[in-house]
């Protein structure tokens, strides 16, 4: 295993941890501290990302003997993307959402999520998973009882699984019982550890029947930190990092059932969103539906499905960050929680926010010309190969999500408003630049997706080989040609 030139991963985790401590003590400059800490994590993640791809996709360790963090094609993109999303959210958040408590909690979630992404040690992974959820269980972001219970159960299940794996490895005489790389393929812990890992993922991702906490958390808590937490997609990451490499045979047997359950969750959440009236709950259900599609793609064990899932992780994270951000900015401006009971006609007051909401929503549901089109097409190909009948639920769920987004956009931004609104401004520069960057990424990456799909294909081929999928790995050019037969994505 090659080494990084500098401990970039440790620095990426340390920067937001230090920022969280400073922000908690200095509320007057909480936003500035948050921006600087997130920017530091972004620069370190960018350096690790560049090093991985300059090495040809090698797995790179840090230049010291602790062996806590590694960077590879699977996690390098997530590290950079998540740091950028956190930086954007802290920069555009309304003033009332930049208190010392909220910024410290947001930076803590960033540090813990980056640690979980980069972990090459079971203890570090467990701590990252646990600490990222603590603000929503015990800390400043907790809401009703269902989010606390759901996340607590996911943490207990993951701790139990990793503990069982480590104990079995030590009993077998393994020299590195906590190293994730050294444990691959050994099936330590057996069916009990595998079942606990799947339970942790189901609760963290909100897969049916453990889905209700997602809606409650979006409705009751601070929406921007919750959006950031959801877009960590740690459940899908642990599936790819731990479950598939550690339990390849168990995964092959259980994944058809789990993939069907994920597809059912995608359709169920899409149906619920059509009938929902609260804007926050609609967006939460859309995130849930799209996240279930990601899980179904990973469990398809096909190169198209896995590549589509890894690309769609990026689409969902970026697009839903834009959607939740616009919704929160509208709530602050108009002093209300939005519902779909009336046409509000707010586009005349906030046209830029309306356009950015529309772009993010269209990318999320796969409009041609956006990155979502390529990821959705890859997902559909992969799930139809592995699940020829139930795989049809994915395009149906996507179509229903599009209906829900159009309905929400229409109710908030279209129509004639009775009575004037005074003192309301459109997006201010810091909001405008962040949201414009989000929209630009979704469109430009959709028009020229070869680079991003290529980055994710290398990781997808590795995961498909670990899962023992039925199809041989395909070069990213072939997968891209299949996903964009008319050349629309090129």
Higher pLDDT, 428 or 391: 428
pLDDT tens string 147-166: 888 889 999 998 988 888 88
Helical (H) or strand (E) element with 221: none
- Residue 34, classified by CB atoms within 10 Å of its CB into exposed (0-12), middle (13-18) or buried (19+), is buried
Question: pLDDT class for 463, splitting at 50, 70, 90?
Answer: low
Using a pLDDT cut of 90, give the percent of the chain over it: 24
Beginning with the edge strand found earlier in the chain, give each strand of the sheet holding 60-61 in spatial order.
2-3, 60-61, 70-71
**Residues 6+ positions from 13 with CB-CB distance below 8 Å:** 41, 69, 111, 114, 115, 118
Q: Provide the 3-class DSSP secondary structure of residue 121.
A: strand
pLDDT tens string 187-227: 777 788 888 888 998 888 888 888 888 888 888 878 888 88
Q: What is the mean pLDDT of the chain?
A: 82
| 425 token code pair | 């401004």
pLDDT tens string 350-374: 889 999 999 999 999 888 889 988 8
| pTM (predicted TM-score) | 0.88
CB-based contact 110:128 (threshold 8 Å): no
Tell me the domain boundaries of the chain: 1-120, 122-246, 261-490
Higher pLDDT, 246 or 405: 405
- Dihedral sign for Cα 125, 130, 131, 133, please: positive
| Measured distance CA(110)–CA(95) in Å, rounded | 20
Residue 415, Cα to own-chain centre: how many angstroms? Answer: 33
CA-derived radius of gyration, the chain: 21
């Amino acid at each position: 295993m090659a080494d990084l030139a500098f401990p970039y991963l440790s620095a990426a985790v340390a920067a937001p941890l230090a920022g969280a401590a400073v922000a908690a003590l200095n509320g007057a400059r909480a936003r500035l501290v948050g921006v600087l800490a997130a920017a530091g994590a972004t620069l370190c993640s960018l350096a690790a990302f560049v090093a991985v791809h300059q090495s040809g996709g090698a797995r790179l360790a840090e230049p010291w003997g602790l062996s806590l963090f590694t960077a590879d094609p699977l996690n390098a993109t997530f590290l950079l993307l998540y740091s950028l999303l956190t930086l954007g959210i802290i920069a555009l958040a309304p003033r009332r959402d930049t208190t010392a408590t909220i910024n410290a909690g947001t930076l803590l979630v960033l540090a813990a999520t980056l640690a979980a992404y980069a972990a090459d040690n079971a203890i570090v992974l467990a701590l990252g998973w646990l600490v990222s959820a603590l603000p929503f269980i015990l800390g400043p972001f907790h809401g009703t009882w269902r989010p606390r219970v759901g996340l607590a159960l996911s943490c207990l299940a993951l701790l139990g699984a990793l503990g069982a794996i480590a104990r079995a490895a030590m009993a077998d005489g393994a020299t590195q019982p906590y190293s994730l790389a050294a444990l691959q393929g050994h099936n330590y812990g057996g069916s009990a550890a595998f079942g606990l890992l799947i339970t942790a993922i189901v609760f963290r991702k909100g897969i049916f029947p453990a889905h209700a906490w997602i809606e409650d958390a979006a409705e009751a808590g601070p929406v921007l930190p919750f959006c950031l937490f959801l877009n960590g997609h740690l459940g899908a990451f642990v599936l790819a990092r731990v479950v598939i490499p550690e339990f390849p045979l168990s995964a092959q047997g259980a994944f058809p059932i789990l993939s069907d359950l994920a597809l059912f969750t995608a359709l169920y959440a899409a149906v619920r969103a059509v009938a929902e009236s609260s804007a926050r709950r609609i967006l939460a259900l859309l995130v849930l539906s799209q996240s279930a599609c990601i899980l179904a793609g990973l469990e398809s064990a096909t190169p198209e499905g896995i590549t589509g899932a890894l690309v769609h992780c990026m689409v969902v994270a970026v697009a839903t960050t834009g959607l939740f951000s616009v919704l929160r900015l509208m709530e602050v401006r108009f002093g209300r929680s939005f519902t779909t009971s009336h046409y509000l006609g707010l586009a005349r007051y906030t046209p830029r926010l309306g356009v950015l909401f529309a772009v993010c929503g269209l990318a999320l549901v796969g409009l041609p010309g956006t990155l979502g089109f390529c990821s959705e097409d890859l997902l559909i190909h992969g799930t139809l190969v592995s699940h020829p009948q139930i795989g049809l639920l994915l395009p149906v769920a996507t179509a229903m999500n599009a209906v829900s987004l159009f309905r929400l956009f229409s109710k908030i931004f279209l129509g004639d408003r009775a009575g004037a609104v005074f003192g309301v401004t459109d997006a201010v520069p810091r909001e405008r630049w962040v949201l414009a960057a989000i929209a630009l990424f979704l469109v430009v990456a959709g028009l020229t997706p070869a680079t991003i799909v290529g980055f994710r294909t290398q990781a997808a081929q590795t995961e498909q080989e670990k899962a023992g999928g039925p199809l041989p790995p395909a070069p990213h050019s072939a997968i891209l040609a299949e996903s964009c037969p008319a050349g629309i994505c090129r």
